[in-house]
């Protein structure tokens, strides 16, 4: 059974940092591109960042470029999202998900982890 | 960015009815549309890929159609477990999602 389990969320003040983690099991982790997708109550689902099989290629939505860093550890079967200079508009539930390059639909999703940016 | 408009925002139906959910793209995207189901307290689930291609393990009552700018997710004879929110997503240019259609019990 495929499982993606996110952790690391919480309440953080604007301008501070937070690191999300995602533990994967039940599939060959290194065979998939990985991504973070977030869902804020007022904005629906938004793709945030993606990373290639080996971590050599990353992509970000414009609003998080320079502030967020996606990374992965294939030996640990883990995905990460380092979030710096957080803003109130980053408040959302963050989902770990995977996809095949070239098809770009999301095969599996985690349960999500809540991030609240507020003073 | 390509904008996806889903309608209606909420659809109230009786179990056993058949329904169609709409997703319209702001420009032509061929068949690069995918559908997901989101239930409360559960993971989001892929239902249909590339407008009409089925996904292993998804009940056959779910089907998709369309190309270009207009797409439809159909549910034949809605069951109680189907009441949830449905999203479309395009992969033609970058990755964007629709705002969702909530299917609720009448």
Instruction: Write out pLDDT tens, residues B12-63.
Output: 999 999 999 999 999 999 999 999 999 987 889 999 999 999 999 999 999 9
Q: Which residue has the higher pLDDT, B103 or B42?
A: B103
Q: What is the pLDDT of residue B97?
A: 96
Q: What is the pLDDT of residue B91?
A: 95
Mean pLDDT of B68-72: 98
Confidence of residue B89 (pLDDT cuts 50, 70, 90): very high
Q: What is the pLDDT of residue A41?
A: 79
Report yes or no: A95 and A110 within 8 Å, Cβ to Cβ. yes
Chain A residues with CB-CB distance to B50 below 8 A = 105
Residue B48: half-sphere exposure toward Cβ, Cα within 13 Å: 27
What's the mean pLDDT when you consider all of chain B? 96
Residue of A nearest to B5 (CA): A44
Segments in chain A below pLDDT 50? none
Radius of gyration over alpha carbons of chain B, in Å?
13
Which SS3 state, helix, strand or coil, does residue B80 take? helix
Report yes or no: A33 and A74 within 8 Å, Cβ to Cβ. no
Residue to substitute from B88, B92, B95, interface A, most A β-carbons within 10 A = B95
């Amino acid at each position: 059974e495929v499982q993606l389990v996110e952790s690391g969320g919480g309440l953080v003040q604007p301008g501070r940092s937070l690191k999300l983690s995602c533990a994967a099991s039940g599939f060959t982790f290194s065979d998939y591109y990985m991504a973070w997708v977030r869902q804020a109550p007022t904005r629906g689902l938004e793709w945030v960042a993606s990373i290639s099989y080996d971590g050599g290629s990353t992509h970000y939505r414009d609003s998080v470029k320079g502030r967020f860093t996606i990374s992965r550890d294939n030996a640990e079967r883990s995905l990460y999202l380092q979030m710096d200079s957080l803003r109130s508009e980053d408040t959302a539930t963050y989902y770990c998900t995977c996809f095949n390059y070239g098809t770009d639909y999301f095969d599996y999703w985690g349960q999500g982890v809540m991030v609240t940016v507020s003073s | 960015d390509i904008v996806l408009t889903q309608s209606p925002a909420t659809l109230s139906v009786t179990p056993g009815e058949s329904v169609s959910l709409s997703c319209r793209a702001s420009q032509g995207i061929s068949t690069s549309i995918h559908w997901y189901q989101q239930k409360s307290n559960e993971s989001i689930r892929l239902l249909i890929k590339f407008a009409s291609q089925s996904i292993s393990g998804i009940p056959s009552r779910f089907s998709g159609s369309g190309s270009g700018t207009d797409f439809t997710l159909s549910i034949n004879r809605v069951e109680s477990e189907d009441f949830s929110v449905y999203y479309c997503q395009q992969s033609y240019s970058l990755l964007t999602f629709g705002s969702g259609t909530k299917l609720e019990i009448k």
